[in-house]
Amino acid sequence: MSSSRKQTSLFSFFTRSDDKEDGSPSRATFSSSVMKQRENFLTEKMNRNGSMKAPERDETEERKTCGAPKRTAQDDEVCSPLKRNHTPKRCRIVLSSDSEPDDECGHENSKQVEISVEADHSPTSSDNPTSSEPCTPDLNVKPKNRTSTPRSVPRTSAASTPRLVSEMAHSFIGCFRVNEEDMDAPNVSMSSLDRSIYKVEESAACGTSKKEGGLAVLSDCEAGRFPHLDFDFLQPDKIRDANGRRISDPYYCPRTLFVPDAFIKQQTPGHRQWWLAKSAYFDTVLFFKVGKFYEMYHMDAVIGVENLNLTYMRGKFAHCGFPEIAYGRFADQLVSRGYKVARVEQTETPTQLEERNRLEKNREKVVRREICRVTSAGTRTYGVLDTCDGDCALDAVESSARHLLSFAEKVLPNGLSTYGVCFIDTSVGRFYVGQFVDDANRSSMRTLFAHYEPSQILYERGRISAASQSLLNSVASAVIKEALVPKKEFPDAESAVKMLTSKLYFGEVVREWPQTVRSLLVDADALDAKCAPEFNECMAALGAVLWYLKRSLIDVDMVTMRTFERYIPPCLLGHPASQNDSIEGMQSGEGYWRHRRLVLDGVSLYNLNIVPPLDGVRRSGMRDSISSKYSLYNTINKCITPFGEGYWRHRRLVLDGVSLYNLNIVPPLDGVRRSGMRDSISSKYSLYNTINKCITPFGKRVLRQWVCAPSCDGDVLRARQDAIQWLMSPTAKLFTDKATEVLRKMPDLERLLQKIHTLGLKYRASQHPDSRAVMFEPLRYNRRKIGDLLSALSGFERVLELVRLYGKLFTEAEQRPKLIDRCFGACFPDISGDLSHFQEAFDHEKAKAEGIIVPEKGVDAEYDGAVEDVHECIHNLDAYLFAIRKRLGCGSIQYFGSGRSRYQLEIPETIAKNLGGDFELKSSRKGYKRFSTEESVRLFEELVEAETRCDIIRRDVMRRVFADFDTRAAKWAAVTERVALFDVLLSLARYAKSSGLAMCRPEFVFDSDTPFLNIAAGYHPCLAAKMCAGREREASFTYIPNDTQLGGDHPLTMLLTGPNMGGKSTLMRQVAVLVVLAQIGSLVPAKKMRLSPVDRIFTRIGANDRISAGQSTFFVELNEANIIMRDASVYSLVVMDELGRGTRSVYLSLHNLMLRKVDRLPGLLSFMDNENDVDPTLENVTFLYSLSDGVCPKSYGFFAAKVSGIKPEVIRTAFAASQRLDMGIDGKSSRLALLVREAKKGCDVGQLSSMLASM
């Protein structure tokens, strides 16, 4: 029998005073023997934690608080299962106040309240409340009046005493506390975390209750049917949104839930708060804070048990929970499974609750709660609650970028669509915005999804075309998608601009907006912001992202990063700005001007004689021939070929989504979740995974951008090649070894910058609900915050070490690699002064240990002023004491007191007898009396005021330090960019050295008359990596390199023929992948490679239909072929494999005719050994996998069938049918040739008709 512990709900705020009128309880109770075991267990439990006291049998018994000894095996043996029909016992328990911080050994300021620990919850306690409001709920509600008794009651009178209810001013029982060491266990289960005061064993048998040791044991199935399953408003056919719309309504909102008023009135205040939040966030799992625990109820509890390995707590309704410190771990697990998670915090202390009740004349008994964060797949951030302790907390999370993407669509009259897109990586706070016209196949959108993997997609409900819906159903079928209500949730362009003018975002001064956002406006310098008509869809998509971020309560965090970049599809421009191409937010500097161009309109071109006029040849009167001859263009034009290196500058190789998938460049969008789409081996050996030797997470993200958009720029390619070769040289070994060591200790600086930016926001500290949240591990969280800052500073200091080391490697006369020099050379940002500033700002070790930053003098002027005011007040008090001593002639007079009673004048009794009326007696002790005067009271009040102001500033000092760090964000981002660039270069160098193959430096020719591609002894990079891995395991795996020549002195087109399993598809992919690798700037596995740049790679490989989009295999093939014929240029590389495979073999009869028409065709030849024309099952074929001129005579499909294990008799039958078909085709061909000859001889019509009839 398997057993696990269950927790028992002790939430008195979830129970009502529903006792019977005669005072007898309506609940099942315990027997005295069971209660005895419970009390023993409680005693040991409370002794361990120090936050509870043992149950009392007598009020006069002395109560002592003890430490928290280690848990022993005997503790787990004490079992106190719940049993019905027995008299309840009351015990006195000390609960910690919500307003007091936790102490390691106990709670000094604890309150004593009575709790009735009962066997089960009444039916009323497991019912639940509601709200019909669709907006973010106000969780502050008024409960019913309840009775409370502040003293213990004898056990004999328990039956006649009304059940006691504790207020929410008291926290959940402190003995539930779990150390974080327990949470960091690698395979921790919730069973080991449930530190319940009861331990309930579950029976493995379903539907029965067994006894063990004379105690009842619950079965899992007893908790299988919960009340929420029977709620009428939760039935599938009766669910409505907050506005009363049913699921069948096209405007139904799945994010909200309608809960009847009659139902909500029956609920307790605690449950009512939960249902109010659930009504507004029906599609979200609520982590509902109760004391130190996050609780999950009803349908959320079922999700928690099924996905998080939690256990149900005892009670009628579904209920489970976990400690506050475990939030990050469990939230991440649910979000990874596609759920949304809302964190509901207590935002009021008991003292604040009492004060609010006094001022508003309320009688509320539950503290206020607010939703502080909603996390989904597209809105992940990594705050202090989302990560664990440690210097490298961020390194444990996934390093790849995941984007929240929204798009708005406008269908054009010609059937095409204009798309406005906006997507953001919330982990770094970077926005991308763009607008473009897409083709009928939505090629640009497919490419966008492939380059920037979306984890969540937002679109406008009812306003997208069927083609867009098909795109979402096919390419993004595994991605979470949400339809937003037009205008209300998906704002139009005008409303989006109005959102941006908020003081929390950019404000009304347009000139101070980020340049990328200003470029979407009619006039970037106008006082009144207005979106340009050509960017309406783009601005609307930005508004949708802002609305969703606001709902997730991270909008201000993201927008104030001011990092916006323009997205242009690579197929439209050829060189989209990569992630590290610009640092938006720098309103000036080199980063602002990168990739920008000087604008020359037609008037300027004409007036300055830049180029000959359009009609200068035909209309000599417009501009004379001398002027045209000496235009600037004709003066500097010395080009020999139409295309020179300048043509390729800033251009990129375009890889659309189809090519990325067919060539296995990057793992597929949903490869992790849908193993059927591509197996794990194929994903493992994608080009990205093969060459990815990056150490830092942000370096890996940049490498992926390089792989998805390789460069065509000669300067870029040569710089990368030079840098990689230098890193591989013996000269650089010392530097690369040190760099590798440094990078291994480097945190994710890019994400840390966003994290520190958030921690430094004043809005976060004053207006965000998290600023009001009552947390029970504040010291731990403060340590994490300080740890993040110190980790970032340490990372930048390590980078400075590399800069200093790099400077020592070269003399002034030595040539330095250009790209490495850009990373660590003279243009490296000067951050030494900034690091020194933070090094001297505060004591790092002390701050990390104590969780408090106390700035050194001179760091924070306001704090220094406040401290000076305190010192001045103390000095004034000391001066007054000196004056009193002098006046009374007694040097033994001193101040006495603490807290609000400080600075009382303690005067010897002999002198006190003669004091005047200005001395007011406060207290006395033997031989002394204590007085205050008007002056001492005034001085003390000034001190209290100064101390209060200083304390307020001190609490804000940490945020100020983070904000100070964030003011240098431009420098930090520039350094991070350079480190990422170096990490990618080092990765490519490590790949070249570890590949186990001969590597060569590709040679690019930019001024060739015709495009060409020559590869000598080339390997497929991914298969070569697999081959090397096989060698390490002593596995037999051989790979035959091949030469490939296209263009130049060779044909531009190669038609491959060969046997099945001969390697045709592999060779085609190999050529394309080597081109991608070469244009990344890497060395390639080949003896020699020489080529002209490729501007785009098209692929038409395999036979795949799109069932969800309603497209057959043949339709998909023709679509892809159409894109190739429409968009391919002379510099494009086209890879087509088995066009027409998706329908009947209409090309079969043309196969031999095609081969006869072409004189010389490259093909895959195979060496035939022991060929048998009678029985193919006796045939042996040895594949040479080498490329040579000629035509392969046949496909050897029957040999492939034999290798695959098909029965010999089936193969023989198919072979016989194939021979009959060939004979029939040959016979018809010969008769057709005879008919043609006779017709040419002049045969009459009658003879020709008879010949046709015989055929």
In this prediction, residue 1186 carries a pLDDT of 59
For 399-593, the fitting CATH number among 3.30.420.110, 1.10.3210.10, 1.20.120.450, 3.90.1150.10 is: 3.30.420.110
Other Cβ atoms within 10 Å of 487 Cβ, number = 12
pLDDT digits (tens, 9 = 90+) for 397-441: 567 888 999 999 999 998 899 999 999 999 999 999 999 999 888
What is the per-residue pLDDT for 464?
94
pLDDT category at 1185 given cuts 50, 70, 90 is: low
Is residue 339 scored above 50 in pLDDT? yes
Q: How large is the average pLDDT for residues 467-487?
A: 91
DSSP-derived secondary structure letter, 198: S
pLDDT in tens, 1004-1063: 999 888 899 999 999 988 887 776 665 544 444 567 888 899 888 888 888 877 666 667
Which tokens sit at 526? 């106008």
Q: What is the pLDDT of residue 1101?
A: 79
Q: Which of 282, 286, 341 is nearest to 133 (CA)?
A: 282
pLDDT over 70, % of the chain: 66
pLDDT tens sequence across 648-684: 888 899 998 888 988 999 887 653 344 344 456 667 7
Q: In whole angstroms, how far apart are CA 617 and each of 602, 609, 628, 640?
A: 17, 15, 9, 22
Residue of higher predicted confidence among 645 and 78: 645
Alpha-carbon distances, residue 492 vs 524, 540, 873 (angstroms): 19, 5, 58
Q: CA–CA separation, 1044 vs 1014, rounded Å?
A: 6
Fold of 861-965: MutS, DNA mismatch repair protein; Chain A, domain 3 (1.10.1420)
Read out DSSP for 28-56? ----HHHHHHHHHHHHHHHHHHSSS-PPP
Q: How long, in residues, is the chain?
A: 1255
Q: What is the per-residue pLDDT across 904-920, written as a single tens digit (0 to 9) for each?
A: 999 998 888 888 888 98
Count CA within 13 A, CB hemisphere, residue 563: 25
Weakest mean pLDDT among 646-655, 659-668, 739-748, 1215-1224? 1215-1224
In this prediction, residue 917 carries a pLDDT of 82
Other CB atoms within a 10 A radius of the CB of residue 850 amount to: 14
* Res 677: pLDDT: 41
> Element (H or E) spanning 546, and its range?
helix 536-551
Q: How many Cα atoms within 13 Å fall on the side-chain side of residue 577?
A: 23
Per-residue confidence (pLDDT) for residue 1106, from 0 to 100: 62
Q: 């000599």: which residue's tokens?
A: 620
Q: Give tens-digit pLDDT for 67-100.
A: 333 333 333 333 333 233 333 333 333 333 333 3
Q: Does this chain's domain 657-858+966-993 share its CATH topology with 861-965?
A: yes
Angle between helices 1208-1241 and 1197-1204 (to 10 degrees): 170
pLDDT of amino acid 1033: 47
What pLDDT is attached to residue 32?
42
Torsion of CA 361, 367, 370, 373, to 10 degrees: 160
pLDDT band at 136 (very low <50, low <70, confident <90, very high): very low
For 706, how many CA atoms within 13 A lie in the half-sphere containing its CB? 30
SS3 percent helix, strand, coil of the chain, rounded to 5, is 45, 15, 45
Alpha helices in 1179-1207 (DSSP H): 1197-1204
Please say whether the beta carbons of 241 and 254 come within 8 A: yes
Residue in the structure block whose two tokens are 């998608």: 481
Dihedral (Cα; 612, 617, 622, 624), 10-degree rounding: 80
Report the pLDDT value the prediction gives residue 1171, as an integer from 0 to 100. 42
pLDDT value at residue 361? 79
Quick check: 59 pLDDT over 70? no
| Mean pLDDT on 743-755 | 94
Residue 1094: band (very low, low, confident or very high) from pLDDT cuts 50, 70, 90: very high
Angle between helices 749-759 and 934-966 (to 10 degrees): 150
Residue 719 has pLDDT above 60, yes or no: yes
Residue 177 pLDDT > 70, yes or no? no
Segment holding 417, helix H or strand E: strand 417-425
- Under DSSP, the state recorded for 479 is S
Query: How far is 550 from 538, CA to CA, in rounded Å?
Result: 18
CATH number of 12-375: 3.90.226.10, 3.40.710.10, 3.40.50.720, 3.40.1170.10? 3.40.1170.10
- pLDDT-wise least confident of 532-536, 921-925, 1189-1193: 1189-1193
Q: What angle do CA 268, 273, 277 make, to 5 degrees?
A: 145
Which of 1141, 1114, 755, 1149 has the alpha carbon at shortest distance from 965? 755
d(CA 934, CA 941): 11
Give the C-alpha separation, 430 to 698, whole Å.
13
Return the higher-pLDDT residue of 573 and 76. 573
Whether 535 shows a pLDDT value over 60: the answer reads: yes
Phi-psi region of 415 (alpha: psi -120 to 50; beta: other; left: phi over 0): left
Residues forming beta bridges with residue 216, ordered by sequence position: 211
- Residue 396 pLDDT greater than 80, yes or no: no
Q: Does domain 657-858+966-993 have CATH number 1.10.1420.10?
A: yes
Tell me the C-alpha distance between 1193 and 1165, whole Å.
9
pLDDT at 377: 94
Backbone angles phi, psi at 1029, to 5 degrees: -65, -35
Q: Has residue 938 got a pLDDT over 90?
A: yes
1218-1226: Cβ within 8 A, 24+ apart: 1225/1149
* CA gap 116, 119 in Å, rounded: 10
Integer-rounded Cα Rg, in Å, for the chain is 39
Look at 372 and 1233; give whichever has higher pLDDT.
372
**For the chain, which residues make up each domain, given as ranges?**
12-375, 399-593, 602-648, 657-858+966-993, 861-965
Mean pLDDT highest for which of 124-138, 314-328, 1100-1114?
314-328
Average pLDDT, the chain: 75
For residues 173 and 467, the model is more confident at 467
Per the CB < 8 A criterion, the answer to whether 853 and 957 are in contact is yes
Tell me the C-alpha distance between 1089 and 365, whole Å: 78
Across the range 141-164, mean pLDDT stands at: 36
pTM score, whole prediction? 0.74
Distances (CA, A) of 67 to 43, 92, 100, 116: 13, 19, 18, 25
Per-residue CA distances from 1 to 217, 219, 493, 710 (Å): 11, 11, 63, 60
- Strands 284-290 and 340-346, sheet pairing: parallel
The pLDDT-based confidence of 506 (bands split at 50, 70, 90) is very high
Please give the residue that has the higher pLDDT: either 38 or 1011. Answer: 1011
Contact 759, 962 (CB under 8 A): yes
How does residue 103 score in pLDDT terms, banded at 50, 70 and 90?
A: very low
pLDDT at 138: 52
pLDDT at 993 over 80: yes
* Per-residue pLDDT, 38: 44
Q: What is the mean pLDDT of the segment spanning 376-393?
A: 77
pLDDT the model gives residue 498: 95
> Looking at residue 655, what is its pLDDT?
92
Give tens-digit pLDDT for 18-36: 433 343 333 333 334 434 4
